[in-house]
Structure formats: C-alpha cells, structure tokens
Amino acid sequence: MRFIDEFRDSELAKVVVCELERLAQGRHFRIMEICGGHTHTIYRYGLHDVLPTNIELVHGPGCPVCVLPMGKVDDAIAIAKQDGVILATFGDMVRVPGSQGSLMDAQADGADIRMVYSPLDALKIAQQNPDRKVVFFAIGFETTAPGTAVTLLQAKKLGIKNFFVFCNHVLVVPAIKALLDSPETQLDGFIGPGHVTTVIGSKAWEFIPRDYGKGIVISGFEPLDMLQAIYLLVRQIVEGKPRVDVQYTRAVRPDGNLKAKAVMEQVFDFRETFEWRGLGWIERSALKLRPEFSEFDAEMHFDLPQRQIPDPKVCQCGAVLRGTILPWECKVFGTACTPEHPIGACMVSSEGACAAVYQYGRFSRKVRELLQR
C-alpha cells in the first residue's frame, strides 16, 4: 500500500476484523497499546467499536506529557518566573496542571512562555534575544530526544551562551519493564510504539518475550496498521509463540536509527532514577545532559523547587497510565475533568488517553453504553 486512503479502507478493515473474530474465539485477550498515538487511532477511527468484545484494549504510559509528575511542571514554572527568562516548550505541555496552576496560568501572570514546534525554534529565540536567558523545557521519549541532542550540538558549535535545556526526556523500555514487574499488571501482550521503535529498533523489545513470555507487535498509526498488528498479536497468543513482530515495516528496522542513537549517546547520560506519574521512581528511565554540556544544563543554572507533589486525590491519571482503569472509569471523567478544565494531564495532551476518549469516544457505541451503566 502506498497511499493514506489505502490504510483507511473500510472494506479491507471488515475483512481483517472477520479474520480476527475467527482467530480470537474462545478466550479473552487483554492487550496494552503503549503509545498515546495508537490510543487516538483506536477511538478516532472507531476500532474500539468494531473489535470483537473479547479483545480488550487498555492504554499504556506512552504519552510523554502525561507521565511527567506535577513537580516537574512546578519546576518549569519556577524557571519561567525568574528575571529575564524566556521559557520555550511544546504546546501540549503549556496546559498541564502543576500544583499551583499551569504554564499557561504563569504566562497570564506575566511569565514569558513561548510554544515551539522544535528545540531548534527555541535556539533561534535565544539567538534573537541575546540579552535574555532562553530555556527549552525538553520533554518526550526517544522520538524527541534526538532533536534536543542535535540542538545542543548546534548551540555548542555556535558558542551560544544564553540557551539552556531543562531536560525531562524519558525512556519507554524501562517504563514497560516496571509495568511488567508490577503484580497488578495482567496483560496478554503489547502493541508497541511505532515512532519510538524507529529510533530504538525492534531488537530493544526482545526482553518482553524472552524475560516475560509475552508478545509484542510494533504497529503503524493508521487504522489498518493497528488492526493488522492486533491480528498478529492475537495469532502469537493463540499459537503460544510470543515474539517481537514488526507490522510497521515501512519505518522500523531491527537496530533503529543509528544516527539518532549516536547523537543521543553523545549528549545524554542516564539519570540514576526518575519519577513517573503513576509508575513512581524508575531506575535509568530518563536522560540528563552529559558534563560536557553542563553550560546548557538548566538544572545547574536555575533554582528549582524539585518537590514531589502527588496528583489531586480525585485524579486517577496514574491508574490510567498503568492500564488498571480505562479513562471513563475515573470518577471525574467528562464532568469535573474536561479538555477545557483538565484536572489531570491525560485530559490535556493530544496523546492522552482521557483526551482521546473525550474527543472521539462519545461517538463510540461501546463507550456510550459503558458510560450509561
């Protein structure tokens, strides 16, 4: 297939669903899609409605904005409020609540906060404002970390002195290991993240069948990609042969993107441990700047509160990110918590599970039925 319409062909989708129904007969399957982009495909294209009822999809921790704990938002706000600072970050991050409000609230109070599409845009702002300190609030998984690394190499090459990075890049593999090590995790297999795996390579997932006896299929993001990936995973489970399968062959290679991995290696080192919303502290699950780049490290140049702040009691984002509840099972879903007035990060981000269900789930027959119970 070459064109986007072909990946959305409803007749072909019906054929795959029929095959899936036949294959999946006789037992229940509980499958986690790790990536928030996949969660959005599931609801946006109504896959949730057409899948057999014995195939249950639960959503994973693959939304980079959602997994950052509130304390990190507070740290970013503290930086933004310091004299002469311009804080630049991705749009999703601006509306995520911290303990005293969001970056958007801080902007309304006078902080200079700018939304950017890439870290290079933040570097450009630094070049255009030599009398200001420009801090890039870097978030995201292995998909966005290479961009931050390249930007830091560029800043070093150009000798820029007023550019800093508040590094909060996190790594997917340690998070999935932590989930699998948790006794509350009851899953039959995973739909693996397509974009992250283009960088880290499909070999990075071999620990799942080897150490945990579960299967994983790396999937693309169109509806037929996902249906085929679910089919391949169910087939693995039925055959009792867990392995790493790649459905997203048009982008994923066994070793990933060697150049991207090399720049990350050059610029970043592992943090000993890092706090994830919902998953707690996970060893070597996040990146920090290497000492050679300390001149750009915001943590070395700005005072940060660095407090651990639990989510509000009503917020169940942690349970959603662990896949132990589905978004509509949170008591405040769609009532006190909406995209206009989010209580938790999962309702804010374009990759958040609650935002996906809120935006598209009201058109879903199954979600409507579940909400009415």
Per CB under 6 A, residues contacting ligand SF4 are: 315-317, 320, 327, 330, 332-333, 337, 343-344, 346-347, 354
Question: 371 — phi, psi (to 5°)?
Answer: -70, -30
Residue number, 304 or 332, with CB nearest to ligand SF4: 332
| Shortest distance, position 38 Cβ to ligand SF4, whole Å | 17
Hey, what are 313's tokens? Answer: 């009691």
Residue number, 134 or 346, with CB nearest to ligand SF4: 346
Residue number, 111 or 330, with CB nearest to ligand SF4: 330
Measured CA to CA in angstroms, residue 203 lies from 61, 171, 181, 218, 239 at distances of: 20, 15, 20, 11, 22
Among the listed residues 4, 9, 47, 12, the one whose alpha carbon sits nearest the alpha carbon of residue 360: 47
Three-class secondary structure of residue 286 per DSSP = strand
| Shortest distance, position 352 Cβ to ligand SF4, whole Å | 7
* Side-chain half-sphere CA neighbours of 8 within 13 A: 10
Residue number, 137 or 333, with CB nearest to ligand SF4: 333
Q: How many CB atoms lie within 10 A of CB 217?
A: 28
Residue number, nearest CB to ligand SF4: 344
Residue number, 293 or 333, with CB nearest to ligand SF4: 333
Among the listed residues 189, 184, 190, 123, the one whose alpha carbon sits nearest the alpha carbon of residue 155: 123
- Measured CA to CA, the distance from residue 368 to residue 25 in angstroms comes to 25
What radius of gyration, in Å, describes the C-alpha atoms of the chain?
21
| Shortest distance, position 60 Cβ to ligand SF4, whole Å | 14
- Answer for the pair 95, 123: CB distance below 8 angstroms, yes or no: no
* Side-chain half-sphere CA neighbours of 319 within 13 A: 13
Start-to-end Cα distance in the chain: 41
Question: 158 — phi, psi (to 5°)?
Answer: -85, -5
Residue number, 122 or 355, with CB nearest to ligand SF4: 355
| Shortest distance, position 359 Cβ to ligand SF4, whole Å | 13
Measured CA to CA in angstroms, residue 47 lies from 44, 56, 249, 270 at distances of: 8, 11, 21, 37
| Shortest distance, position 361 Cβ to ligand SF4, whole Å | 12
| Shortest distance, position 343 Cβ to ligand SF4, whole Å | 4
Residue number, 58 or 346, with CB nearest to ligand SF4: 346
Residue number, 87 or 346, with CB nearest to ligand SF4: 346
